[in-house]
Amino acid sequence: MNLGLIGLGKMGNNMRERLREAKIDVVGYDSNPAVTDVADLPALAAALTTPRIVWVMVPAGKITDSVIADLAEVLEDGDLIIDGGNSRFTDDFKHAEQLALKGINFVDAGVSGGVWGLKNGYGLMVGGRDEDVQRAMPIFDALRPEGPRAEGFVHVGEVGAGHYAKMVHNGIEYALMQAYAEGYELLDTKKDIIKDVTGTFKAWQRGTVVRSWLLELLVLALEEDPEFEDIEGYVDDSGEGRWTIEEAIANAVPVPTISASIFARFVSRQEDSPAMKAVAALRNQFGGHAVKKAD
């Protein structure tokens, strides 16, 4: 079996390696000549046996739109495109309709695992027709973690369902990270009685109800830099958290924890939060509480 893989960045390159380890013939394309296997998309299409399968692993939005449009010009009736990026689920509907005009099939795959996926495997959430998903199952099995398929792979539903599930997954991820971060700050401020913050988190890795892979990653980060002196508190967001909140509003589903976590990220980008200035001013006005003068 062979596969075309477009996008050989941090995740794409690791995915190519994991697939090759599983004896799947991968032809990769990237705009970076240092990592690409072929010069362009026509060469990619020519290198694959028909009917072809091409996995797109590029940033969501305009770049994904452009790649899929270009692929539609070099692929043929019966070929299959899998979008494994973090596309918004509504874009999947557009892409599926666009490709259907050429007889090209489409599957959306939410992928979780980051830079650790090469070693640990990738959690996969897939949307599309049954026949298309089954056709690509050897690829999904090669990428997912070892163990029962149902614990690392799910065919969520029709086109769009995979990226919808990944969107909610990332919304939950935002909230979990924020909870760990707030716990860290509270422990770190109580150094008169808490003598080992890193050890506290490490001790939670077995037997406690808050153990998780995210907790393990936090312990790794703390062991490298216990006071986070080498990192700024600026936190970006890639879109899925916002989309989760927008969907919650559209469907009248309360998500206060996820909402709070993304707003906390916005606060992290302000060197001196205007909102917090307003809170300080109000406390001074109604209660005479002291305010800290700006330098």
Residues annotated catalytic, as ranges = 166, 173
Do β-strands 25-29 and 105-112 pair in parallel, antiparallel, or remain unpaired? unpaired
Phi, psi for 2 (deg, rounded to 5):
-125, 165
H helix or E strand, kind and range, residue 33: none
Which residue blocks in the chain are alpha helix, DSSP H? Answer: 10-21, 41-47, 62-74, 89-100, 117-120, 130-135, 137-143, 161-189, 197-203, 213-224, 240-250, 256-268, 274-287
In 3D space, the residue among 261, 260, 273, 268 whose CA is nearest the CA of residue 234 turns out to be: 268
Q: Report the DSSP pairing between strands 53-56 and 80-83.
A: parallel
Write phi, then psi, for 162 (nearest 5 degrees): -65, -45
Q: Tokens 């390696």: give the residue.
A: 17
Q: Which two tokens stand for residue 34?
A: 């240092």
- Neighbour count for residue 215 (Cβ, 10 Å): 18
Residue 141 CA to residue 135 CA, distance in Å, equals 11
State phi, psi for 127 to the nearest 5 degrees. Answer: -125, 140
CA-to-CA distance for 135 and 146, rounded, in angstroms? 20
Question: What is residue 56's three-state secondary structure?
Answer: strand
Residues 6+ apart with CB under 8 A from 31: none
